[in-house]
Structure 1
Amino acid sequence: MGVAEDAKVRSVLAALTLLALLSHTNGIAEGPEAARLAPGPRAAGQHRRLKRGWIWKQLFVPEEDPTLRVIGQLKSDSDRGEFGIQYILSGEGAGDAFEIDEYSGEIRTLKKLDREEKAFYVLQAQAINRRSQEPEEPQSEFIIKVQDVNDNAPQFPDEPYVASVPEMCPTGTTVVQVTATDADDPMFGNNAKLIYSILQGEPYFSVEPKTGIIVTSWPDMDREAKEEYLVVVQVKDMLGLSGGYSASTTVTVSLSDINDNGPIFQHHLYTFAIPEDAVAGTTVGTVKAEDADTGINARMTYSLQIDLQENATFTIRTDPLTQEGVVLLAKPLDYETKRRYVVVAEAINEETDPRFLPLDEFSDRTTLKIMVHDLDEPPVFLSPFYEWKVAENAAAGIAVGVVSARDTDAANDAVRYSFDKRSDAAKAFAIDPLNGTISIAKALDRETSAWHNVTVFARETTQKRLSSSVVASIKVLDINDNAPQLAGRYQPYVCEGAQAGELIQLLSATDLDEPSQGHHFYFSMVPDKHINPNFTIRDNQDNTAGIVARRSTFTRKDRRRYLLPVVVTDSGSPALSSTATLTISVCSCQPAGHCPSGGVEALALSMGVSLQTFVTLLVCLVLAAADPLS
C-alpha cells in the first residue's frame, strides 16, 4: 500500500474515532439512563430520538490468517440486547471477505486476506428496527484495515548491477547503490525495514547498511593486477533480526584504467637491412613499445631524435591500430656513399598525468641500426614524370621534349631509350634511343585524343640490361579546326494562323573544338541582295537564336513548305562557319498550337514522296500485316 493510501486510511480511522467520542458526549448513557432512552412502542405523534450513536471497536484483521474469526462488533447505542435491531453490512468484501451477525453485530472473516493485494476495505453499516423496518441509525461508512505480516522477501528489481571505478581511487569512493524493495508495509513494524551487508567482495568493498551504497575499502587497487571484482550483497528485512527474509544480488565492478604506466620497448637494439634501391616511403621495419595501460592511456607516438644527421634519411610513423612505430625511408640511399645508419627512436604517451608518474617515465628510447645492401641498380630518370604540351597542328618531326636517365652504379653504363610498343600513344610519337628526344611521328587531332601517355624505358647496355620506366604525358592543345554545327535535326513548322514576329523555332549549336574562353556562336541567314520576306534569324547573343516569322497568313493552300539556310559561325581565329538548310512546314495547327501531321509530312517530303503516295503505301502495309496469308 502506498503512502498516500495509508494516509487516507489513517484519516478515516481518526474521523471514525472522533465520531464515536462525539456520540458518547451527546447523550449516550448506560444503566437506568440508557433504559430511559431505550426505544419502546411509540405513542401516536411520538417523535423519534434524533441523537443516536454507533459503538464499535477499531477493526483490524491480520493478513494471511487462515482462521475465520470475529474481528469486531458494530452496535447501536439503542440496542438493548433484545434482538430488536437488525445489522446489515455492505460495501467492499461484504459477503465475500466479511459477514455480520445480524443480531449481535459481530463481524467475522470469511477467507484469508492478502494486504499486498488489498490493504483496506471500505464498508457501510446499517441498523434497522425489526418492527418498523426503519433505520435506527443513519448508514455509516467504516474501514477494516488488513494488518501486515512479514510474508514477502525483499527483491532487487534492477539486478544484476555493473559498475566501474578508476583504479588507484581513494578509499570510500562510491561504486554504485543497490536498492531492494519489499512488498510488506513499511509503516508497520520492521517487516519492510531493510539492512544491507557484503557476502563477497571484502576487504576491497563495503556497503552502507541502510542505503545500500557500495564504496571502496581497499587502497591502491591496480587494474593491471586485477581488472574485475564480483561483489555479492545481501539484504535482510526486519532489520536483520531472526525470522526475516533475505535476498542477494551480484555487482560486477571493473576498474577503469588510469595512465599509471609508461611505454617500454621490447628490445634495446633493433637491426634492419634495406637495399640501396629502395624508394622513399619504403618500410624499413617496425618497433614496438608495450604499455600496460589500455585505451587512450596506452596510446603513444614515436619520434626520431632530431640531433642526429641520420634522421633526415628516415622517418617514423605511429600505426594507430597496432601502436607500432613504422620506420620509413625518407630519401634515396646510396651504398657507395653511406653503408650504415644509427638512429635513436623514442616512444612517448599521448596523455600524461603527473599525479601518477613523473613526466620522464611516460617515455622510453631504443636504438635502431640500419644496414644498406649494395645492388646493381637500373638507370634512374632525372624526373619522376614528364609532362609537355604541343599544338594539334604541329608538323611531324617536331620535338616535344626530352627524357633523361643515368646509371647510378659506379660503372655508369650507357643507357638506351625506347617506347612501350603495346601503347597506341607510342604510334603517334618517336624517340631517339641515344638522347631520349621525343618527337611527333604523325599528325595529331585533339578531338580524337586530347592526352597521350607514353611509357618510356631506359635500359642499360650491359648483359643484365636492367631497365626502368617513366610516364611522359603529352597534352594536345586545341586549334580552331572544326566548324560549328546546329545542335539537332530541327523540323520547324509554322501555323497557318501565325502572326508576324512569332517565334517559330529556337536553335543552338555545338562545336568539337574547345576554346580557352569558351564557345560563342553567331547565327545569321545566307547573305543575299534580297531580304527573305517570310522568315528571319534573331541572334539571342547567348549561343542560341530564334527563327521568327516576318509576315502573317501562311496557308497550306498557297505553299506547304519553305527552305531556310542558316549560317552558324564560331568565335575562333580564324572563325569557321557552316550552313544548314532547314525545311519549315506549314501546318494547320490545333488550338493549342500543336501540329499533329507536321512530322509525317516532313518525313514524306524529305524522302521525295508525295503525301498521297506515302499514305497509300502506309495503308497497303497495314492491310498486308492484317492478312495472315500474306
Structure 2
Amino acid sequence: MAAARPAGSRSGVLCRQLLLTLTVLTLACDACKKVTLHVPSKLDAEKFIGRVNLKECVKFPSLIHSSDPDFQVLKDGSVFTTNAIILSPEKRSFTILLSNTENQEEKEIFVLLEDQTEVPNQTLSKEKVLRRTKRRWAPIPCSMQENSLGPFPLFLQQIQSDTAQNYTIYYSIRGPGVDQEPLNLFYVERDTGNLYCTRPVDREQYESFELIAFASTPDGYTPELPLPLPIKIEDENDNYPIFTETTYVFTVFENCRVGSTVGQVCATDKDEPDTMHTRLKYSILEQLPRSPTLFSMHPHTGVITTSSSQLDRELIDKYQLKIKVQDMDGQYFGLQTTATCIINIGDVNDNMPTFTHPSYAASVEENTVDVEILRVTVEDKDLVNTPNWRANYTILKGNENGNFKITTDPKTNEGVLCVVKPLNYEETQQVTLQIGVVNEAPYSLEGSSRSAMSTAVVTVNVQNQDEGPECIPPMQTVRIKENVAVDTRSNGYQAYDPETRSSSGIRYRKSNDPKGWVTVDENSGSITIIRNLDREAESIKDGIYNITILASDQSGRTCTGTLGIILEDVNDNGPFIPRRTVTICKTTMSSAEIVAVDPDEPINGPPFDFSLASSDSEVQRMWRLAKINDTAVRLSYQNDPPFGPYVVPIRVTDRLGLSQVTSLNVLLCDCITENDCTLRTGARTGNGEVKLGKWAILAILLGIALLFCVLFTLLPDDLTQQNLIVSNTEAPGDDKVVYSTNGFTTHAVGTSAQGVSGAVGSGVRSGGQETIEMVKGQQTLDSYRGAGHHHTLDSSRGGHVEMDNCRYTYSEWTASLSPDSVKKYICVIRRMLRSVVKTMSSRIPTREEGPQRVLLVVAVNDKKKMGLSFWIIWSPNLGH
C-alpha cells in the first residue's frame, strides 16, 4: 500500500487560513535545483510556508538570498512571506541563492509553489486504481499544520494496498486520535483509504500520532500486515517566549571593572525546540537613569555585564532596566516579551572617614579615672552601619603612660576618649594626643595616593585637686630581732603629702595588729614593742609580721599602708623529735629511724648531736644510736630484749649547743609490720588479758534471755517426740577451748578455716563441776552425770550416742528419753550458759588470729524444726 493523491475531479472549499503541506522533492542529482511547496492560493504576510533543507546543498552557507522579495529564507531553511500574496492560476516560483565565502562555493535552489486548495474525490474509479503503478504496503510520512482552521474534515493522505487489484479491500485505523484520547480526531474512508483530520491540533499538546492502518476483505481476511502510520504535527510560532521571572534583582559593586557580570536572565518558549520558533534573542530596551549607559546584555545567553567602570553608589545606588526577549532569532516578525531588571549598586569602602574638626580640647581633674572627657565625630559617605562606614579610633601619640583610651560608640560612630589611669597635676599639667580613624573594612580605592587614615589633635588640660596623703610604697618593712626587749622603739611607716612632698602634718594610727605586739606613734609613725616577739609563732609566715597603718592629713583624707616587721631569728628553740612513739618489729627489723627538727632558722639548727639522756645502765646497755645525717639517727636494740614497751630518753643538741630531751616510747613487738603490732597491742591490757565492756555483757545477757524464751515456747506437750540437736559448730581450730565455772577452765586455741562438726552427749555431774569442751570435730557436754553414765553424741560418727558401757543409735537414744530427762537437759543448758556469762563478765582469753564464734542451734519437733543461734563473738581489733 502507498500514499497517493487522486487525479480525478477536483472538489472542496478554498482554504480560508494558512494551510501548509510541504513536499520536498529531493533527488540525489537535482537536490539543489528544485523544491516544490504545496501552499494555499492565498497567503498572509509574515507566514511560514515551508522549510528547505539548505545543508544538502551547502553545509555552512554564509549568505542566503531570495530572488523574490515577497519571500524570506532564514538560516534553518524556513521560508516566510514578507507580503500578502495570491497565487495566480499559474504556478509561482523563485530561486534561493546560497554562497560560502570561505571556499567561494555558490549554489541555487529552485522553489516551486503549487496551489492545493481542493480536496480529492471521495471515490476513485476501479479502472483508475487498476491502472496505478504497483505500490508497496509501507508507511509514508504524513504531517499537518497545528492550529489549522480547515476546511474540516481536512484531507491528509490516501493509503492503499496492492491487493486491491485482486480483492475488495476495506480500510480502517486505530490508535491515539481514533479510538484513544483524543477520540475521533482522525478517520479513514473504508473504501478509498482517504485519511482525514476532524479538528485543529495543538502541537504543544500532541507532537505526533502513531496510528495503525489495517486492510481487510469483506469476509474478514487480512492480506496485509498492520501498517504503522505516523502523523507529525508541524509547529507554528504560536507561543510567546516567557521570562522565568517578571522582575530580576541583581547586585554589582561600585567601581567594578568593565565586563563584570551583573546577572543572567532566562526565558522559555513552548514551541518546537531547535527551530526558529524557539531561537531567542535578548536585548535591553531602556535604562533608568538613562545616562550614562552602563550595562550590556549578551543576545543569546541573557548575561548582563557592565560596560563602564563609572558605577558610584554614592551618586546612584540603583538602576532599572527594561529587557526584551524575542523568538525567530530577533526577526522583526518574531514574538516578544518584556521584563524588568533592578540592579543594586553594592557599597565598597571607597570613602575614608574624616574628622569634622582638625583639633579638639578637653580637661580632666587629676586622680580621676574611668571618666569620659571628649567625643569626636567623623564623616563617611559609605553605606551606614556597614564595615565600610563604622570607624575604628586609635591614639597614635601622647599616650605612652597608658592614661587614655578611645573607643567607638556603635550607635553614633563617635570616638569616645576616656581616662583609664589617673593623671598627676604635680607631674603633668597638659597632655597632647594625636588620634587617628580608619574603617573596619580596608580602604579599597586602587591607585589612590591618599592615606586611608584621617588624624586630629586633642589637647587635654589636667586640673589640680586637693589630694590626701599618699601611702607610697604601700608595703614598707623594718627589721627587728625576735625576743627583743619590751619598749624597744623602731622606725615605722611613712606617708607623704603629694602637694608638699613631705610627711609633716600627717597623723598615724594602727588599723590592724593581729597579736597586739606594737604601738604606733601618732606624729612620727614609729613603733614601740609592747610584747615579746616570737618568729616561730603559729601565725607568722616567712618570719614577717604585718600590721596595717592608717595615715590621715588635717582635712581628714586618708590612705592605708602595710608595715612588715621582719623578725630576725635568734637561737631560742632547742631541737626535738616530733615522733614520740616508735614500733620495732623484731621479726623483720632491728632498728628504727629517728628524725629531729628545729623551729629556728638553719643557721641556728643542724647539724644535730644525738645522745641517750638516761643514766640508767640498763638503757645504756640495751640501746644504741647511729648517725644517719645531720638531722637523723638510727635507734637499735642490743642483747635481744623481750617484747614490750620501753621508754628511751634522747637528747638532741643544735650547732650552737642548745639542746632538748625527748622521751621516746619504743614498742618491741612480734609482728611483720608496725600497723599489725599496733592493732594487736591496742586491745590488750597490761597482763595480756582482754576486758569485756558493759555493752558487750549486756548484749550477751539479752541473747541468753531470748534463748530461754524461745526454748520454753517451742517445747510441745508430747516430750517423747522432742529432740535436742546440735548443728555444726565453728570451733577455733586444731586446739580446744574449755570454759569452766567452779573448775570450768579455759584454754586458748588456734583458729582453723576447716568446718567443725559438733555433738552433744548426756551430761556428767561430778562434785558440782559444769564443763563445756569444744574440740575440732567433737563437742562434749559434761554437765550432768547420773547412774555412772556418760553420754556423747558425735555427729561425725554417723549420729550415734556413746554411753559408758554400750552404744546406741541416735534414734534409739532419742526414743529412750523421757520427759524428765529432757527437763534435765534443759537445766544443764541453763546452768552451762549461766557459767559462760559469769566467766565472760571478768575476762575471756583469746587468740590474736581473729574473732571466735560458738554456734548453738536447738531444733524442736521432728515435723516442724525451729532453730535459734546463740553467738559469742570476740574481736581483738574492737576490744570486746
- TM-score of the superposed pair, with normalisation by structure 2: 0.42
Say whether residues 1:228 and 2:318 are aligned partners.
yes
Q: Give 1:451-490 correspondences, 5 Å limit.
A: 458-462=550-554, 464-469=555-560
Task: Work out which of the residue numbers 670, 685, 702 in structure 2 matches 1:531.
Answer: 670
Distance 1:325 1:407, change over 3 A: same
Q: Could you tell me how far apart the structure 2 residues matched to 1:141 and 1:264 are?
A: 84
Per the alignment, residue 72 of structure 1 pairs with: 156
Partner SS state of residue 268, structure 2: coil
Say whether residues 1:255 and 2:339 are aligned partners.
no
List runs of 5+ in structure 1 lacking aligned partners: 1-12, 19-29, 40-50, 475-480, 485-524, 539-553, 562-582, 589-599, 610-630
Partner SS state of residue 190, structure 1: helix
Q: Could you tell me how far apart the structure 1 residues matched to 2:233 and 2:180 are?
A: 17
1:435-466 per-residue CA deviation (whole Å, 9 max, x = no partner) reads: 3989999998689x99x9x996744232x312
List runs of 5+ in structure 2 lacking aligned partners: 1-21, 28-124, 566-575, 580-643, 646-665, 678-729, 734-748, 753-847, 854-870
Matched AA of 2:302: G
Quote the offset at 1:128 in angstroms: 2.3
Per the alignment, residue 343 of structure 1 pairs with: 433
Per the alignment, residue 235 of structure 2 pairs with: 148
Per the alignment, residue 503 of structure 1 pairs with: none
Task: Work out which of the residue numbers 130, 135, 139 in structure 2 matches 1:35.
Answer: 130
Per the alignment, residue 269 of structure 1 pairs with: 359
Task: Work out which of the residue numbers 48, 52, 71 in structure 1 matches 2:136.
Answer: 52
Quote the offset at 1:427 in angstroms: 8.7
Q: Could you tell me how far apart the structure 2 residues matched to 1:437 and 1:156 are?
A: 98
Q: Could you tell me how far apart the structure 2 residues matched to 1:473 and 1:194 are?
A: 95
Quote the offset at 1:556 in angstroms: 6.7
Distance 1:363 1:188, change over 3 A: closer
Say whether residues 1:178 and 2:265 are aligned partners.
yes
Distance 1:373 1:167, change over 3 A: same
Say whether residues 1:244 and 2:339 are aligned partners.
no
Matched AA of 1:285: L
Distance 1:426 1:109, change over 3 A: farther
Say whether residues 1:168 and 2:255 are aligned partners.
yes
Say whether residues 1:121 and 2:209 are aligned partners.
yes
Say whether residues 1:374 and 2:464 are aligned partners.
yes
Partner SS state of residue 358, structure 1: coil
Q: Give 1:301-380 correspondences, 5 Å limit.
A: 302-304=393-395, 306=397, 315=404, 317=406, 319=408, 321=410, 324-329=414-419, 332-348=422-438, 351-352=442-443, 355-360=446-451, 362-380=452-470
1:294-353 per-residue CA deviation (whole Å, 9 max, x = no partner) reads: 5555566545565x7x76575554549576545455765332444333333333567345
Q: Could you tell me how far apart the structure 2 residues matched to 1:168 and 1:211 are?
A: 25
Q: Give 1:554-573 correspondences, 5 Å limit.
A: none
1:4-26 per-residue CA deviation (whole Å, 9 max, x = no partner) reads: xxxxxxxxx99xx99xxxxxxxx
Q: Could you tell me how far apart the structure 1 residues matched to 2:199 and 2:852 are?
A: 103
Contact residue 100 and residue 107 of structure 1 kept, 8 A = yes
Partner SS state of residue 381, structure 1: coil
> Computing the radius of gyration over CA atoms, which structure comes out larger, 1 or 2?
2
**Root-mean-square deviation (CA), in Å?**
5.8
Distance 1:291 1:471, change over 3 A: farther
Q: Could you tell me how far apart the structure 2 residues matched to 1:585 and 1:153 are?
A: 109
Q: Give 1:399-414 correspondences, 5 Å limit.
A: 405-410=495-500, 414=505
Contact residue 241 and residue 335 of structure 2 kept, 8 A = no
Q: Could you tell me how far apart the structure 2 residues matched to 1:586 and 1:455 are?
A: 61
Distance 1:535 1:354, change over 3 A: closer
Q: Could you tell me how far apart the structure 2 residues matched to 1:231 and 1:601 are?
A: 109
Q: Give 1:379-528 correspondences, 5 Å limit.
A: 379-383=469-473, 405-410=495-500, 414-416=505-507, 432=520, 435=525, 458-462=550-554, 464-469=555-560, 528=667
Distance 1:354 1:255, change over 3 A: closer
Partner SS state of residue 381, structure 2: coil
Per the alignment, residue 135 of structure 1 pairs with: 223
Distance 1:323 1:69, change over 3 A: same
Distance 1:420 1:240, change over 3 A: farther
Task: Work out which of the residue numbers 133, 148, 170 in structure 2 matches 1:85.
Answer: 170
Quote the offset at 1:191 in angstroms: 5.0
Q: Could you tell me how far apart the structure 2 residues matched to 1:338 and 1:241 are?
A: 85
Matched AA of 2:130: A
1:156-208 per-residue CA deviation (whole Å, 9 max, x = no partner) reads: 33675443323233554431121122222233443553433334433443433
Contact residue 406 and residue 414 of structure 1 kept, 8 A = no
Quote the offset at 1:141 in angstroms: 2.5
Higher RCO structure (Cα 8 Å, ≥6 apart): 1
Q: Could you tell me how far apart the structure 1 residues matched to 2:359 and 2:493 are?
A: 44
1:572-591 per-residue CA deviation (whole Å, 9 max, x = no partner) reads: xxxxxxxxxxx997699xxx
Contact residue 284 and residue 323 of structure 2 kept, 8 A = yes
Q: Could you tell me how far apart the structure 2 residues matched to 1:358 and 1:62 are?
A: 69
1:341-394 per-residue CA deviation (whole Å, 9 max, x = no partner) reads: 33333335673456353134x3333221211112112333324x6599xxxx99
Deviates more, 1:297-306 or 1:164-173: 297-306
Q: Could you tell me how far apart the structure 1 residues matched to 2:202 and 2:564 are?
A: 94
Quote the offset at 1:274 in angstroms: 0.8
Partner SS state of residue 59, structure 1: strand
Matched AA of 1:35: L
Q: Could you tell me how far apart the structure 2 residues matched to 1:536 and 1:228 are?
A: 93
Quote the offset at 1:124 in angstroms: 2.6
Distance 1:188 1:382, change over 3 A: same
Partner SS state of residue 442, structure 2: coil
Q: Could you tell me how far apart the structure 1 residues matched to 2:148 and 2:850 are?
A: 106
Q: Give 1:181-200 correspondences, 5 Å limit.
A: 181-190=268-277, 193-200=280-287
Partner SS state of residue 347, structure 1: strand
Q: Could you tell me how far apart the structure 1 residues matched to 2:211 and 2:168 are?
A: 22
Per the alignment, residue 290 of structure 1 pairs with: 379
Q: Could you tell me how far apart the structure 2 residues matched to 1:77 and 1:237 are?
A: 44
1:246-300 per-residue CA deviation (whole Å, 9 max, x = no partner) reads: 24143342233142x2331112221111111124x76543433333235555566
Per the alignment, residue 35 of structure 2 pairs with: none
Q: Could you tell me how far apart the structure 2 residues matched to 1:426 and 1:170 are?
A: 80
Percent identity reads 20
Distance 1:288 1:55, change over 3 A: closer
Quote the offset at 1:53 in angstroms: 2.4
Distance 1:183 1:251, change over 3 A: farther
Partner SS state of residue 130, structure 2: helix
Q: Could you tell me how far apart the structure 2 residues matched to 1:52 and 1:180 are?
A: 47
Quote the offset at 1:75 in angstroms: 0.8
